[in-house]
């Protein structure tokens, strides 16, 4: 199988990001999908941009995308490697205009994400993680000239960054806060002197944990596999964990039902 070059994922993410930003500054219509979630033309254009690049560079690797055609479990159950894509994660944040939306691309091998790329178009920050390489962020990503994967790493910031505040920070969803999440936060407050809650949209919550800006991200509300794959790869590459709430086992992918159960993201705790 052709080795995956992180610079290609950067190019793909930037391409999708440009499509999204072109729509972001316009008036656009919002449709409602069968699951009652919102859909815009930006979701569709970003999907097309990602599919074009991935199919061009890695034709032999199948793609499971939120905005792609439905792929039956019978067809994908034997996939040992596949792309898991959310072209525009945080469509609600996109519609609100708060800038907290992302492009998510993950490579899954043997049910676990081994490469993750998350691009935040508004902040122009590219987060990425790769098994055995580590996790990084590239700021002002669209302005950088990158010649190779080695050059990409050299121009990036290694994650996690130092966070010696002594405060336990918890990141929670800006649009999907639940009573169970609040109960988790209350338990932390009972065990620690200083607990701060930070709100963020989309997969940026994973990025905050990978950066060391938050220690925990509890998610006790519905998500789908494409919402979490890239974030998990980056958090794990940064030394953190993504654990199922019910048994604290590692989160895995390509299940028959693509809807995720509850989980907790934990940052590296040295």
The model carries a pTM of: 0.94
Q: Which residue has the tokens 């599919």?
A: 51
Domains of the chain (ranges plus CATH)?
6-159 (3.30.540.10), 168-266 (3.40.190.80)
For 127-173, write each residue's pLDDT tens digit: 999 999 999 999 999 999 999 999 999 999 999 986 656 688 999 87
For 48-100, write each residue's pLDDT tens digit: 999 999 999 999 999 999 998 789 999 999 999 999 999 999 998 999 999 99
């Amino acid at each position: 199988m052709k080795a995956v070059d992180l610079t290609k994922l950067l190019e793909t993410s930037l391409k999708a990001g440009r499509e999204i930003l072109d729509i972001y500054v316009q008036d656009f219509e919002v449709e409602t999908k069968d699951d009652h979630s919102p859909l815009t033309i930006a979701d569709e254009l970003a999907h097309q941009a990602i599919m074009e690049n991935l199919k061009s560079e890695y034709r032999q690797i199948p793609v499971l995308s939120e905005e792609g055609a439905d792929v039956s479990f019978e067809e994908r159950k034997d996939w040992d490697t596949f792309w898991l894509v959310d072209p525009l994660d945080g469509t609600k944040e996109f519609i609100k205009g708060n800038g907290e939306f992302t492009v998510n691309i993950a490579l899954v091998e043997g049910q676990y994400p081994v490469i993750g790329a998350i691009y935040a178009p508004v902040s122009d920050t590219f987060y990425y993680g790769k098994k055995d390489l580590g996790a990084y962020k590239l700021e002002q990503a669209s302005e950088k000239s990158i010649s190779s994967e080695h050059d990409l790493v050299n121009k990036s910031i290694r994650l996690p960054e130092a966070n010696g505040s002594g405060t336990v920070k918890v990141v929670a969803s800006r649009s999907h806060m639940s009573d169970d999440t609040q109960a988790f936060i209350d338990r932390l407050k009972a065990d620690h002197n200083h607990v701060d809650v930070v709100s963020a949209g989309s997969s940026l919550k994973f990025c905050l944990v990978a950066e060391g800006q938050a220690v925990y991200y509890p998610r006790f509300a519905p998500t789908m596999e494409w919402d979490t794959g890239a974030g998990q790869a980056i958090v794990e590459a940064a030394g953190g964990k993504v654990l199922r709430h019910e048994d604290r086992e590692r989160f895995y992918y390509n299940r028959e039902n693509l809807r995720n159960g509850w989980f907790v993201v934990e940052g590296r705790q040295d």
